[in-house]
Each structure stands twice: as structure tokens, then as C-alpha cells.
Amino acid sequence: MNSSTATMHQTLRHYFGYEQFRPLQQEVIDDVMAGTDTFVLMPTGGGKSLCYQIPALLLPGLTVVVSPLIALMKDQVDGLTTAGVPATFINSTLDIAEADRRKEQVRSGQIKLLYVAPERLVLGDFLRLMKSVTLSLVAIDEAHCISEWGHDFRVEYRRLALLREQFPTVPIIALTATANDRVQQDIIQQLQLRDAKLHRAGFNRPNLSYAVKQKTTGLRPLFEIVERHRGESGIIYCGSRSRTEKLTDHLRERGYRALPYHAGLDRETRTRNQEAFDRDDVEIICATIAFGMGIDKSNVRYIIHYDLPKNIMGYYQETGRAGRDGLPSECVLFYGQGDRAKQMRFIEEKPDPNDRAVAIEQLNQMVGYAEATQCRRALLLHHFSDDYTATNCGNCDNCLSTNPLETVDVTRQAQMLMSCVIRVQERFGTSHVVDVLRGSNAAKILNYRHNLLPTYGIGEATSKSEWMWLARAMVTAGYLSQDATSFNVLRTTELGRQVLRDRQTITLQRQRQESPRKQERERSINRTMGDLPENNVELFQRLRGLRKRIADDEHVPAYIVFGDNTLIGMATRLPRTLEEMRMVSGVGEMKTKRYGAAFLQAIAEFLGEQPSIQTVERQIPDFVPPELSESAIATWYAYRKGMQMEALAAARQISQSTLLGHLESLVAHGKIDSIEEIVPPEKIEPIRAAFRRNGLAALRPVMDDLPAGFATWDELRIVRADHYRRKHSTSREAAKV
């Protein structure tokens, strides 16, 4: 490990308490440190912030971070200052005196990271402040806001283009979690990034489960989800302000701590409600999409969409607020046939026909996701051109279904439906056609004299929900079409007319209805904690209580003190000294000094009460190897030709640290099955033995276990990746048997 790479790892360990970088982080940091404009596309929870926070600590001057919301920048600054990082923000919540004081801190070099909103950054006074110091880096967070093709376009972001004009030599890093190819290119163009290095991590969030449930007349299915997460944080997105208020009232009546959040509330109330959620004073927020990017809370265990989102990009962004700590979390969308019509009414109000066309296309994609019978994860990832090839993700409702698709003969009902569409002259939507078939006496039916049609009432024996499903399925199969530009009227296609005329058999596929699976009825805390013994779970809950008290005293959200993952680490490793506490992932030097004694005391007291409690190893993933990126595959092709390491890095035009990350991922994923050309053979077995004794979670205990100077950090990483490969290939073979 060269000196610069070692310094990066020391900084990561010292301030943030992590032993290793997540996939792509080190490659991004290498490019930023080299002064290169950089575009980072990384899913929520993937560690985007570290991509500019580590360089900010290592570069000589100031890093300015453009952040879209006041609450978001405050939480991020609170988290950094708690970890010992000199950071601050300047925004409209400060009075003139406090703002001036912070500006003076910036001028005197006391601040390494300065967070500002885009509106403030382009003001003349702030530009002069930036020019008065050594500006080393500008980071544009939530960069998709600059693109009119994105899901959250903000006009004020467009003005950031002047950064290149005002600071032509300062590198810019743009970061976002949601951008398809079109949005990516728009961001690069608008910010005038020069020869930008594009780093694109996979969009897959394996810890998130996805499911779609049909809306019912009651709220029982929603309450079932909320109940199994009682005591945990969740967000319920609704399509209107009134629904957020009503749903909040229903939840409170059942004893849940819930608050609403929407644009109709005054700013003070919105801020107060969000802070209550951040600090775990309430467990549920019922919100419109106004409750957006200002969410940095790591322990949101579930996201419910009770109304259909406008597009997949926004849906992915909102579900991404669950499970930022990497622990199991679920995302549930409730969908009803009327949802599309509601969204269409808003779209029809758009004056620009091009805007309407784009919105309709995006809505149709969202409806396709909601009505899909294939893997939902694959649908989401393919929307972002992610190279996801699995046909069964094992963590969405369709892939978890124990019942395969069944083929249903719907010839008779399909003939009724198409005949009725033709009888009403292809001028009405699905609901009206179904009402005619079921013999409704609604005023609209009588006014149009549709009660006199031959198809009136011929389908009364079939439920409305069954007719609605059939109509959707026949649109998907191409027998019917819906005219999105004309109130979604149903029309019979040429294929439909042909099969109707020739009386052909019509079959469709659908999934059998299942009773709720046992795992859906289990409390979420059991999924979060894995199969831990009851005592360890009890200790985790006690540590959560301590964290809440500390956070309240310091007036910060609980996750700023420690994330759930770190508390699980404490509850499983049972540290007894400050040195052992430092070995828990997420416990940096500053937090060890600040909170270590209090948490050690709580653990010691619990051990005194429960002497039988045992250390539990690897209940959560102890090592997650870097993803196998396209760049790593290119390195693999070069490696197979027998090139030496230095020559290989030069040929690929990558740094030694990036090369190491590629080799680590190639070894872990089985592309390289012998590491003797990378690590001296005589070192491999002693290092493996040290990993067997200490686990894969951290490198420091393994290094300390080996004789001084026996191995390098790079060699430890490669052997760990090989140990991981061997362990998991054995598990896979055993599963086959």
C-alpha cells in the first residue's frame, strides 16, 4: 500500500471508524485527489459523501458542498463535527452575526468543509468569500436537480454553471443516486465538466425488499405492515395533503407515534416534524413528496407508497431512503386501477404537449412496474441501464412467491369485455365499461342509455376487481389499448378484433393469490438482528435507549451518535475496553473518546446482569467485496495476459490503489482463482490462519496477530478476498448437494 493510499485508509479509520472503503469509493477519491472533474452515480446508502469528505480532509484548502435542503446540510454537518471533522454550513437559518462568524472561520482556515445551498453559492458576496481562500474542490450533491429530464428539477441548480467560469482550475465532483443516461449527460453538460471521469456503481440495494399490494377499501393491509415494524422508523408517502393528515389521524388512533409532512404546513411545523422523526421522537412520517432529499436518517426500516408515484426515477429515490445502514428494510407500493387516472388528470393540466408526452411515458413505465409479474428488482435496475442479469432476486414479492404463474382461459370474459368496449363506441375508460358489464345503475350509465346495450349486466357474476385485472392484462397483451391523451379510453386493437371475429381462445398468465407468508408476520426487528440470541437483542435495545438519551442531550438525531449497524456490532462483539470498542465498525477515534466510556459501561452492566451472554460472530455480513465493475473486468483481461502489476496499472491508466481494488473484486468473485502471483506463496497460509482466528470484518486485528512487518495491507486484502471466495464457493457447492 503506497503512502497516499495508506493515508486515505488512516483518515477513513480515524474519523469514520471504517476499515475499508465501499465499492468505487477509493477509485473516485483517487480521481478527485488528482484534480479531475468527476461524476459519481451511486445508490443511496452507497457512501457518496465519503467521496468528497475524505479528499476535503486531505486537500490543503476548502471544499464547498452544494446541498439542496437546509435540514440535510445541518444533519451532515452534525455528523461530521461529531466525528471530529471541521465542517460548517451557512444558510438562511443563521442571523447576520453568526453567518459572519462562520465566514471568518472559513477565511482563517479553520473549516475544511462548507455546506451551502445553490441559491447562496451564486451570490456575489459568497463568490468573493470563495475567492478569498484556497478553494480545492466543489461538490454538487443531488446533482440530478440540475437536469430538466430528472425527477426533481430545480431552476436554481442551473445557475451553478458559472462555477466553471469563476473557478476554471478547481475540480468539480457531481454526485447523485438517480440518473439515467439522458440525465447523466445533461448534468455533465450543464456543469461544463471537463473530461469527467464517470464512476457508476450498481443501483442494486440487496438489503431492500420490494412488493406491490392491491389497494382495498380499508387500511388493514397497511396497518399490518406498520405493526410488524412497531417501534421502528418508517415513511408513508401519499398523493395528497388531505390523505397524509387523515392517515396520520388513523395511525394515532391506533397508538402509533405519527406526524404529517406536506407543503400546506408552515415551514416551522415541517421543520419541527422532521426533527421529531430524525430524533426518533416519532416513528412514522406520513408525507407527500415534499418530504424529500432532506432525509439523511440511516435507520428507516420501511417505505410505503400509498399512492402511485409519477415515475420510476422518483420512486427509486424515495424507496432509497430505507435501509441506508445496509440492514434489511422493505418497500411496499399500494396500487389500484384508479391511481393511473388520478395522475393523468394532473398530466392533462400541463400546457406543453411535449411535457405531457414525457409525463405519460414515465407514468406508463410506473404502471408497468406496479402490474408486473416478473422480478421487480430487475425492472427497476433495467430502467437505469444497470447490467443486472439475475432472473430471481429472492427479495421481491414476485420472486418470493411460492406459487408459479398459472395460465388462465379467459376467452368468454375477454369476448364480453371487447364487445362492451365496441358497444360504447370506444369512448369510455375501464371503470365505465366494467360498470356496464356489471349492470350498474349509476347516473352516467343511465344518461348515456348504456343500460339498453346487449352487454349491460352480462358480467354481473364477476367481481369488479376481476374485471379490472382482466382489462389491465388485455392491454398488456395487446388485445386492448388505452389512449393516454384522451382520458384513457379503452379501444380494441386489430389483434383484439381479429380474435373476437375468429372466436379464438384467449389465455393470460397470473399469479395465484397467496396467504400472507410467515416471514411477513414476523417483527422486523428479528430480520434486522438476524438469528441473534434473545440476550444480544435485549442488549441492542438497551444500547438504542442510551443512544437516544445522548442524542437528545446533544440535540442531534440518534443516528448521528451511532448507526444501528454499529450498535449491532457492539451487541454481538461485546467490547470490554476502548481498544476493543475501536474495532467495532463505525466507531472512529473521536466517537471513541466522546461516547466510548458510556457505551462500555452499559455493556458491562448488562454483562453483569446476564453473565451467560455470548459473543456472536458474523451475524451481519463481515466482509462485502468490491463489486465486479466493467473497469475491473477490463483489468482482468489484461491480467490474464501475464502483465506485471506496475505495467498493468500503466496500461490501464489507473492508480495502484484502483488496481488493487480491481484485483480484490476479481479474486472475491472467482475470476482469479490463484493469488500466488499477487501474494508471496509463503505468506498466504499464515495470513489465512490469522483471518480464521479474527474474522474478516477488520484488517487491524489480523495485522496485529501477525509478526511485525510480515505482510502489507494490500496482501491482507487479497488474502481476505480469496478466503471469502473459498468460503462462498464451498457454501454454493454444499447448497447444490
pLDDT in tens, 86-102: 999 998 888 899 999 99
Q: What is the CATH number of the domain that holds 420?
A: 1.10.10.10
| pLDDT given for residue 56 in this prediction | 94
Q: What is the CATH number of the domain that holds 657?
A: 1.10.10
Nearest to 260 by CA among 275, 241, 278, 279: 241
Domain membership flag for residue 90: yes
Q: What is the pLDDT of residues 121-135, one digit of tens each?
A: 888 888 999 999 999
Cell of 643: 502483465
pLDDT class of 623 with cuts at 50, 70, 90: low
Answer yes or no: are the C-beta atoms of 90 and 114 closer than 8 Å: yes
Statement to judge: residues 257 and 162 lie in one domain: no
Q: What is the pLDDT of residues 698-707, one digit of tens each?
A: 777 788 788 8
pLDDT at 497 over 80: yes
Is 51 or 478 the better-scoring residue by pLDDT? Answer: 51
Q: What is the pLDDT of residues 27-49, one digit of tens each?
A: 889 899 989 999 988 877 778 89
Statement to judge: residues 307 and 240 lie in one domain: yes
Query: Could you tell me where the beta strands, DSSP code E, fall in 396-497?
Result: 405-409, 480-483, 489-492
The mean pLDDT of the chain is 83
| pLDDT given for residue 528 in this prediction | 54
Pairing of strands 197-200, 233-237: unpaired
> Domain boundary at 145, 173, 200, which?
200
Statement to judge: residues 707 and 587 lie in one domain: no
| pLDDT given for residue 418 in this prediction | 95
Statement to judge: residues 89 and 229 lie in one domain: no
Minimum mean pLDDT range among 22-26, 77-81, 316-320, 431-435: 22-26
The number of distinct structural domains making up the chain is 5
Domain that holds residue 427: 406-511
Q: Please, which residues have CB within 8 angstroms of residue 204's CB and are 6 or more apart in sequence?
A: 43, 377, 381, 386, 388
Pairing of strands 480-483, 489-492: antiparallel
Domain membership flag for residue 645: yes
| 614 DSSP 8-state letter | -
Q: What is the CATH number of the domain that holds 104?
A: 3.40.50.300
Cell of 402: 411460492
Domain membership flag for residue 520: no
Statement to judge: residues 179 and 301 lie in one domain: no
pLDDT class of 529 with cuts at 50, 70, 90: low
Beta bridge partners of 409: 507
pLDDT at 249 over 50: yes
Domain membership flag for residue 623: no
pLDDT class of 475 with cuts at 50, 70, 90: confident
Beta bridge partners of 373: none
Statement to judge: residues 181 and 308 lie in one domain: no
Cα 305 from Cα 314, distance rounded (Å): 11
pLDDT class of 170 with cuts at 50, 70, 90: very high
| pLDDT given for residue 525 in this prediction | 44
Handedness of CA 461, 462, 464, 468 (dihedral sign): negative
Statement to judge: residues 319 and 437 lie in one domain: no
| pLDDT given for residue 515 in this prediction | 43
pLDDT at 552 over 60: yes
Cell of 33: 485527489
Statement to judge: residues 28 and 78 lie in one domain: yes
Answer yes or no: are the C-beta atoms of 479 and 496 closer than 8 Å: yes
Minimum mean pLDDT range among 75-79, 216-220, 387-391, 721-725: 387-391
| pLDDT given for residue 724 in this prediction | 84
What is the percentage of the chain residues whose pLDDT exceeds 90? 32
What is the percentage of the chain residues whose pLDDT exceeds 70? 89
Domain membership flag for residue 641: yes
pLDDT at 603 over 90: yes
Residue 673 half-sphere exposure, CB side, CA atoms within 13 Å? 3
Average pLDDT over residues 376-393: 79
Is 459 or 177 the better-scoring residue by pLDDT? Answer: 459
Cα 265 from Cα 305, distance rounded (Å): 20
pLDDT at 64 over 90: yes
| pLDDT given for residue 518 in this prediction | 38
Answer yes or no: are the C-beta atoms of 572 and 578 closer than 8 Å: no
pLDDT class of 734 with cuts at 50, 70, 90: very low
- DSSP secondary structure of 165-181: HH-TTS-EEEEES---H
| pLDDT given for residue 215 in this prediction | 85
pLDDT class of 731 with cuts at 50, 70, 90: very low
Statement to judge: residues 576 and 604 lie in one domain: yes
Minimum mean pLDDT range among 325-339, 392-406, 672-686, 713-727: 392-406
Average pLDDT over residues 271-278: 88
Q: Please, which residues have CB within 8 angstroms of residue 282's CB and are 6 or more apart in sequence?
A: 257, 258, 259, 273, 276
Residue 609's Cβ-count burial label (10 Å; 0-12, 13-18, 19+) is exposed
Statement to judge: residues 309 and 212 lie in one domain: yes
- DSSP secondary structure of 184-206: HHHHHHHTT-SSPEEEE-----T
Domain membership flag for residue 617: no
Q: What is the pLDDT of residues 513-523, one digit of tens each?
A: 544 443 343 34
pLDDT at 624 over 70: no
Average pLDDT over residues 254-273: 89
Domain membership flag for residue 35: yes
Statement to judge: residues 395 and 410 lie in one domain: no
Nearest to 468 by CA among 342, 592, 339, 381: 339
Domain membership flag for residue 621: no
Statement to judge: residues 237 and 378 lie in one domain: yes
| pLDDT given for residue 139 in this prediction | 93
> Domain boundary at 167, 200, 233, which?
200
> Domain boundary at 383, 401, 419, which?
401
Q: What is the pLDDT of residues 589-602, one digit of tens each?
A: 889 999 999 999 99
pLDDT class of 153 with cuts at 50, 70, 90: low
Cell of 120: 447562496
